[in-house]
């Protein structure tokens, strides 16, 4: 076991998600999409999720203002579009035009979601926790959507078909296969 000279954070894998926002003034809607991987689950009752965004970024400012956002989980088919959402700036580029993603309207919040993403979740902002370079935005999930083509017999998303991405140390990875259920040692 080698101790590295510089501290590194190798926590992995992380999710690859798209976060959608809308800034509306009168009838003019400015929609945006960012790609992030610093995201996690905080609680299950209610369902809380955290997304971490670098301070000063366009999307973080809008979420703090509107207090709502979408979480859209994309498949690897759209890797180019995902990476474009992470490398361009929403105050300069219309990312729905850039990626050709198809927006659909959320029901509880005034934010577009993404039809090409097999999982979409509507979130309201619950809290903001400030770190040195990033803000952690805590969202409460208020609605969950799954593409009807990817629902299994139990009503869950069929992850074997979704082809979602994993993020490891600045690399995009595919997932492999399911090997066991949680708590399998208790059941055997």
Residue 93 binds to a second copy (criterion: CB under 8 A): no
Please, which residues have CB within 8 angstroms of residue 43's CB and are 6 or more apart in sequence? none
Candidate ranges 19-27, 60-68, 89-97, 170-178; the one touching a second copy (CB under 8 A): 170-178
Of the two residues 62 and 85, which places its CB atom closer to a second copy in the complex?
Answer: 85
Among 18, 34, 73, 137, contact with a second copy (rule: CB under 8 A): 73
Q: Are 59 and 21 in contact (CB under 8 A)?
A: yes
Is 105 near a second copy (CB under 8 A)? no
Cβ of residue 159: shortest distance to a second copy, in angstroms? 5
Reading the block at residue 80, the tokens are 């180019």
| Shortest separation between residue 77's beta carbon and a second copy, angstroms | 11
Dihedral of the alpha carbons of 34, 35, 38, 44, in degrees to the nearest 10: 80
Nearest-approach distance from CB 28 to a second copy, in angstroms = 26
CB of 36 to a second copy, least distance (A): 10
DSSP string computed for 70-116? EEEE-BGGGHHHHHHHHHS-TTT--HHHHH---EEE-SSSS-EEETT
29, 41, 77, 94: which one binds a second copy (CB under 8 A): 41
Rounded Cα gap, residues 155 and 146, in angstroms: 9
CA distance 16 to 167: 6
Which one of residues 61, 84, 93, 96 is an interface residue with a second copy (CB under 8 A)? 84
Using CB under 8 A, which residues numbered 42 to 71 contact a second copy?
42-50, 52, 71
């Amino acid at each position: 076991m080698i101790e590295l000279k510089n501290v590194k954070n190798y926590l992995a894998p992380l999710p690859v998600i798209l976060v959608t926002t809308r800034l509306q003034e009168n009838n003019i809607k400015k929609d945006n999409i960012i790609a992030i991987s610093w995201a996690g689950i905080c609680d299950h009752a209610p369902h809380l999720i955290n997304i971490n965004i670098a301070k000063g970024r366009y999307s973080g400012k809008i979420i703090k203002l509107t207090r709502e956002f979408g979480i859209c989980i994309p498949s690897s088919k759209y890797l180019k579009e995902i990476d474009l959402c992470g490398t361009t700036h929403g105050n300069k580029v219309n990312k729905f035009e850039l990626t050709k993603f198809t927006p659909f309207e959320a029901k509880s919040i005034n934010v577009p979601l993404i039809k090409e993403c097999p999982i979409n979740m509507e979130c309201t902002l619950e809290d903001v926790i400030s770190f040195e370079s990033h803000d952690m935005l805590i969202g409460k999930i208020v609605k969950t959507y799954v593409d009807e083509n990817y629902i299994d017999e139990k009503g869950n998303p069929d992850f074997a078909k979704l082809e979602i991405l994993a993020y490891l140390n600045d690399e995009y990875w595919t997932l492999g296969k399911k090997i066991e259920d949680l708590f399998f040692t208790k059941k055997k």
